[in-house]
Amino acid sequence: MSNRVAVVPGSFDPPTQGHIDVIRRAAGLFDELHVLVVHNPDKDAMLPIAQRLELLQESITEAGIGGNVVVGSWSVGLLVDYAEEVGASVLVKGIRSQGDVTYETPMAVVNNHLSGIETVFLLADPANSVVSSSLVRQVADLGGDVSPYVPGPVARYLEKAGPTDF
């Protein structure tokens, strides 16, 4: 049997409990899992990519997720180019609602047409289904407590940074 490699792409700005849940579950399904911070031109980033990488790595480690996870970033070229480079045959996307399905489906179809890569949708744990990075950013920016929605390293970072320091 060949090595099963998958990629979980996202902006992870900031990483949430939902992201960590999807990463944990995907890590159990594949031999090697690449968690990839990508730039989304449709979003204004709160955190620089280097900070997101650090927070993701710390959150994955603190969650005790296995040693088959590689954290990285990609900003040049198509996502399918990265997948091909690392030998991945699957992209993994977390789905919270019908809106996510509507948003992700065209990308899944185009990625498949471009490279033959499959996209697997993992349904969000209901406890995480209403939490998005955008919502976390808004609550954090207004000085609210985001600790129920983000992993410990992210909560500590945001608390230390304060409402307007990011």
Active-site choice (19, 34, 52, 93)? 19
Residue 127 carries which DSSP code? G
160 is known as an active-site residue: no
39 is known as an active-site residue: no
Active-site choice (4, 25, 96, 156)? 96
**CB neighbour class for 109 (10 Å; exposed up to 12, middle 13-18, buried from 19):** exposed
Residue 5 carries which DSSP code? E
Yes or no: say if 140 and 146 are a contact pair by the CB < 8 Å rule: yes
Kindly state the tokens that stand for 84: 């091909």
96 is known as an active-site residue: yes
Active-site choice (11, 52, 133, 137)? 133
Residue-wise pLDDT tens for the chain (166 aa)? 468 999 999 999 999 999 999 999 999 999 999 999 998 777 788 899 999 999 999 999 999 998 999 999 998 889 999 999 999 999 999 999 999 999 999 999 999 999 999 999 999 999 999 999 999 999 998 999 999 999 999 999 998 887 665 5
133 is known as an active-site residue: yes
Phi, psi of 10 (to 5 degrees): 180, 165
Predicted confidence at residue 165, as pLDDT, reads 55
Residues in the chain: 166
User: DSSP of 16-70, one letter per residue?
Assistant: -HHHHHHHHHHHTT-SEEEEEEE--TTS--SS-HHHHHHHHHHHHHHTT--TTEE
Q: Which residues pair with 92 in a beta bridge?
A: 120
Active-site choice (43, 97, 113, 134)? 43
Give the separation between CA 61 and CA 24, rounded to whole angstroms: 11
Q: Which residues pair with 91 in a beta bridge?
A: 7, 119
Superfamily assignment of 5-161 in CATH?
HUPs (3.40.50.620)
